[in-house]
Amino acid sequence: MAEAKEKKLQKKSGVHMFDVVLYIVFIIICLIVIIPMWKVVVDSFNALGVYQFRFWPENPTFNGYLTIFNTHKLYRPFMNSVITTIIGTFIGLALATLGGYVLNQYDMPGRNIFSMFLMITMVFTGGMIPEYLVMKQLGLVNSMWILVVKHGINVYNLVLMKNFFEGIPASLIEAAKIDGCSPMGIFFKIVLPLSKAALASIGLMFAVTIWNDYSTVQIYIQDPDQVNFQYMLRVMIMDGDTPTSPYKNVSQETLYYAAIVCAILPFMAAYPFLQKYFVKGVNVGAVKE
């Protein structure tokens, strides 16, 4: 591989310099991104709350992680986050695809009204107390399901979905129509199977939003059994309110760095499987003429 590269470089003279610069730039960019994260990971294994940059934990311990998974106060929110994120993403995708698909029916009477109906919500909101009162009516105050309901509908993602659907060749759909397929049939048999890339990337957007939300929790939820992990993380970091660890030698820093890692780990894990879709995904729809 390297040899082939070398040959290529030799063949095109004058390109050499450019590539060197590129490599240097790339390495710098990667370092800038990685160093802060590396420090977080290293410190999550550090028994001592140290502040200097280390390449490797000095006195490695898993106690930070053990604390998180053995403390009900942290473990329960973690599971809440997992549950709400999965279900919320599911509902979010369902509504975004349905809405996006319908909005694409330019010959449907009332399409513009629907479009207006959705667009208004992107700008006008009722304010906090009215929202609170509605959620209370729905019985969602003090319940983690508020995360699912509140983020289940996202007009912005719906628009992205619609844009993606526009990229599906109309001829395919016309053909199906001629074959006597119903709108729903077309949706399930043609549109969805062709939209895996968009489903993956927009699904990820939903997941990120729901997983990372703490302000909703702060406003609506007081029951410690109903809060999510991001909220606990915030409480720990911003208010310094770390739960008592049953383990020895867990400094506050160790614990909350470990918590930060737990908060980003699910995405790190899911990410390699989804990455291939991104480029093809949502943005193709957004840019397509």
Partner 1 sequence: MSRKQDKLAQQVLGDRKLNKKSLGARMWNCRGYYLMFLPVFIFVLIIYYWPMLGIRYAFFSYKLRDIHWVGFENFKTLFSTSEFWRAFVNTLQLSITKLLLNTFAAVLVSVFINEMANLLMKKTVQTVIYLPHFMSYAVVAAIFTLFLSPSSTGFVNETLKSWGLIDRSIDFLHNKGMWRPIFYLINMWKETGWGTVIFLATLSGINPELYEAADIDGATRLQKVRYITFPALGNTIIVVLILNLAKVLNMFEPVFVLYNSRVYEVSDVISTYIYRKTFLTAIPDYGYSTAVGLFKSVVGATLMLLCNEASKKVRGRGIM
Partner 2 sequence: MKKKLVSAVIAASMVAGLLAGCGSTGADTAAPAAGDAGATKESAAASGDAAAASGDFQLDNVNIIVDGTLTATVDSGQAEFVQQWEAAVSEKLGHPITLNITQLDHSDYSGTVSRTLTTGAPGEEGYPDALIMSATMLRQYQTTGLLWNLSDAYDNAEFQSRIIYPEVNQNLKTADGAQYGFSPTYGNGCVTYLKQSWLDKEGKTVDDIKTFNDYYELLKKYSDGKTYGVIAAGYGKLDEAPFINYMPEWWQGAYPSFYEKDGTWVDGFTEQATIDALARLHQGYVDGIIDPDTEEAGTKQAREKFFSNDQSTSEFAFTYWAGQWLRNLTDNMSKNEVDDDLGDKRLVQLPPVQEIKDTWGGYLNREAPVWVITDDGDGDNTREQAIFDALFDTMLDGDKVQTLWTYGAEDVHWSVKAETFTTNADDPDKKKDYEYADGEFHLKQSPNDPDTIWKKNHLDPVLVIAPLTNGYTDNDPLVQEGNKFFLANCVDAPAAASSETLTANNEDLTTEKTTLMNKAVVGEITPEEAVQTYIDDFGDISATIIEELNAQSAAQ
Rule CB under 8 A: which residues touch partner 2? Answer: 47-51, 72-73, 90-91, 93-95, 97-98, 129, 132-133, 136-139, 141-142, 187-188, 192-193, 196, 199, 218-219, 222-225, 235, 238-244, 246, 248-249, 251-252
Closer residue to partner 1 (CB): 145 or 246: 145
Which entry of partner 1, partner 2, none binds 73, CB below 5 to 8 A by partner kind? partner 2
Shortest reach from residue 6's CB to partner 2, in Å:
39
**53, 59, 201, 256 from 171: Cα distances, Å:** 58, 64, 25, 54
List the Cα angle 224/229/232 in 5-degree steps: 60
DSSP tally for the chain: helices H, then strands E: 15, 0
Closer residue to partner 2 (CB): 93 or 233: 93
Q: What does the alpha-carbon distance between residue 134 and residue 88 come to, in Å, rounded to a whole number?
A: 19
Q: What does the alpha-carbon distance between residue 231 and residue 215 come to, in Å, rounded to a whole number?
A: 8
Which entry of partner 2, partner 1, none binds 244, CB below 5 to 8 A by partner kind? partner 2
Shortest reach from residue 32's CB to partner 1, in Å:
7
Closer residue to partner 2 (CB): 29 or 246: 246
Closer residue to partner 2 (CB): 182 or 249: 249
Q: What does the alpha-carbon distance between residue 61 and residue 84 come to, in Å, rounded to a whole number?
A: 31
The answer to whether 233 and 259 are in contact (CB under 8 A) is: yes
Shortest reach from residue 99's CB to partner 1, in Å:
4
Closer residue to partner 2 (CB): 211 or 256: 256
Cα-trace Rg, the chain: 24
